[in-house]
Homo-oligomer: A and B are copies of this chain.
Amino acid sequence: MSRLIFNAFVMNTPSHLSTGMWRIPGDTSHRHDSLSHWTELAALLERGRFDALFMADTYGLSDVYGGSADAALRGAVQVPLHDPLLVVSAMANATRNLCFGVTCSTSYEAPFALARRFSTLDHLTQGRIGWNIVTSASDSAARNFGLEQQRDHASRYERAEEFLDVCYKLWEGSWEDGALLHDTERGVYVDPARVHRIGHRGAHFSVDGPHLVEPSPQRTPLLYQAGASAQGRAFASRHAECVFVGAPSKQALKRTVDKLRSAFSDAGRDPLSVPIIAEHTVITAPDSARAHEKHDAYKRVASEEGALVLMSGWTGIDLSQLEPDAPFEHRESHAIQSAVEAMSAADPGRVWSIAEIARWGTIGGLSPVTVGGPGEVADALQEWVADTGIDGFNLSYAAMDESFRDFVELIVPELQARGVYQREYAAGTFREKLFAGGARLSAPHPATAYRLS
């Protein structure tokens, strides 16, 4: 598509990725416990023609740094963390077109219950709901659900595959189109011949069905996925309609995008048909100087310790045990590696210290940060697109809701003038607003194999 996709990337917590920014005067992120916080944010984003509010989630605390959750709690590093699905109906009622992408894990929910939740929201929002599928990757979450530690990577994905099979059977294969008649004359609400048990028996789940909810506008919610590993990419290539990626440099991002496009091709899909949306943070003001002043002010408040707490959680390495000037060493395929790679690429041969990485990660976590006036930011975003092949951005905020307000007021008009940002929403569901097709998934998506009508 020619226009770019923009989501607001948030979590039901203070200072999602720019840790410590809840301290900045006027920051409203602590108000995530109130309905008006969400309805006002949703209205602002709809005014700015954002595609969606995209909500991260997890079920555990960041407790690798220092061997406890103390630093996470002190700095409010993704804690308190409230449920994301429960704020959707209030926001949907305050908007008409904004869509909602919500992260839910296949590791800690029951597919029958999760499928009903998304079907319920797809009805209530008239098709404005998406699911960001994650398998979760923290031991602290596993320990809240009866496990000593998280399942290994391979078995998490195996479970996720079966989880989606169950959901597809419920969403696509249980109720035929036209099953719901609401025939007051004959007294037939549902035609039982068109509703089917799914009789799923698998290694992880046993689910009889039928689904309790009649077909919703999209049936299957729009499917987002964010898997960076080889297994994650394979999963995405089968299931994802949009992929969410994070990489702090153009080189790293382009590598990820290229690998994903290849995976789509290998799976028999048009590699360009799946939008790839990259995490990004924008700090802007009416002119460049003021944008940089704002960035400097943010940096004075944002927490380096908070960044290390997040990165310790992401890598599984307790960064508090290393001296600030110790060199950071690559290990396995953790998120942080791509950060270090990106920094290395920017300054070849240089070894980065823990302290430098911490400073680097305080705003927007590991996402790239673009600072500048409207023209500069628009240039930069378009360059990211041109240089990496991405289709849009998940914008994380530095200050709530200042970052989104600034973007709506300053950047959106600039991008609209350049013809790359939607001026009006397309009609219909989340899927229809993003793609030319209909409200439902199309073949050869695996979900469609379960259809009966």
A→B interface (CB under 8 Å): 12, 14, 20, 22-23, 25, 30, 33-35, 38-39, 59, 61, 68-71, 73-76, 79-83, 85-90, 92-94, 108-110, 112-113, 116-117, 119-121, 123-125, 140, 143-147, 180, 182, 184, 187-192, 195, 205-210, 212-214, 216, 303
Closest B residue to A112 by beta carbon equals: B144
- Please give, as numbers and ranges, the residues of chain B lying within 8 Å of A68 by CB-CB distance: 192
Is A124 a contact partner of B80 (Cβ separation < 8 A)?
no
Is B85 a contact partner of A86 (Cβ separation < 8 A)?
yes
A-B contact pairs, 25 of them (CB 8 A): A14-B189, A20-B187, A23-B184, A25-B184, A30-B189, A35-B92, A35-B125, A38-B89, A59-B116, A59-B212, A71-B192, A73-B191, A74-B192, A79-B212, A80-B180, A80-B213, A82-B119, A86-B89, A90-B93, A93-B94, A108-B110, A109-B110, A112-B145, A143-B208, A144-B207
Is B14 a contact partner of A75 (Cβ separation < 8 A)?
no
Q: Which 3 A-B pairs have the closest CB atoms?
A: A76-B189, A70-B192, A89-B90
Is A86 a contact partner of B83 (Cβ separation < 8 A)?
no
Add 7 more A-B contacts to A33-B124, A73-B191, A143-B207 (CB < 8 A).
A59-B116, A82-B119, A86-B124, A89-B89, A108-B113, A112-B145, A187-B303
Closest B residue to A25 by beta carbon equals: B184
CA A83 to CA B90, docked complex, whole Å: 15
CA A39 to CA B35, docked complex, whole Å: 14
- Please give, as numbers and ranges, the residues of chain B lying within 8 Å of A188 by CB-CB distance: 74
Closest B residue to A79 by beta carbon equals: B212
**Number of copies of this protein chain within its complex:** 2
- Please give, as numbers and ranges, the residues of chain B lying within 8 Å of A206 by CB-CB distance: 143, 146-147
Taking the closest CB of chain B, its distance from the CB of A30, in whole angstroms, is: 6
Is A82 a contact partner of B123 (Cβ separation < 8 A)?
yes
- Please give, as numbers and ranges, the residues of chain B lying within 8 Å of A123 by CB-CB distance: 33-34, 82
One of B20, B30, B146, B189 near A73 (C-beta < 8 A)? B189
Is A192 a contact partner of B22 (Cβ separation < 8 A)?
no
One of B25, B90, B208 near A92 (C-beta < 8 A)? B90
Query: A34, A90, A206 — which one has the most chain B CB atoms within 10 A of its CB?
Result: A90
Is B110 a contact partner of A80 (Cβ separation < 8 A)?
no
- Please give, as numbers and ranges, the residues of chain B lying within 8 Å of A61 by CB-CB distance: 210, 212
Closest B residue to A33 by beta carbon equals: B123
Taking the closest CB of chain B, its distance from the CB of A283, in whole angstroms, is: 20
Closest B residue to A85 by beta carbon equals: B86
Is A213 a contact partner of B14 (Cβ separation < 8 A)?
no
Is B73 a contact partner of A190 (Cβ separation < 8 A)?
yes
Taking the closest CB of chain B, its distance from the CB of A108, in whole angstroms, is: 7
CA A115 to CA B65, docked complex, whole Å: 26
- Please give, as numbers and ranges, the residues of chain B lying within 8 Å of A87 by CB-CB distance: 89, 120, 124
CA A93 to CA B90, docked complex, whole Å: 6
- Please give, as numbers and ranges, the residues of chain B lying within 8 Å of A59 by CB-CB distance: 112-113, 116, 212
CA A75 to CA B191, docked complex, whole Å: 9
One of B75, B190, B205 near A79 (C-beta < 8 A)? B190
Query: A20, A89, A92 — which one has the most chain B CB atoms within 10 A of its CB?
Result: A89
Given contacts A90-B92, A120-B82, contact A69 B184 (CB under 8 A): no
CA A69 to CA B69, docked complex, whole Å: 49
Is B93 a contact partner of A22 (Cβ separation < 8 A)?
no
- Please give, as numbers and ranges, the residues of chain B lying within 8 Å of A180 by CB-CB distance: 80
- Please give, as numbers and ranges, the residues of chain B lying within 8 Å of A75 by CB-CB distance: 187, 189
- Please give, as numbers and ranges, the residues of chain B lying within 8 Å of A212 by CB-CB distance: 59, 61, 79-82
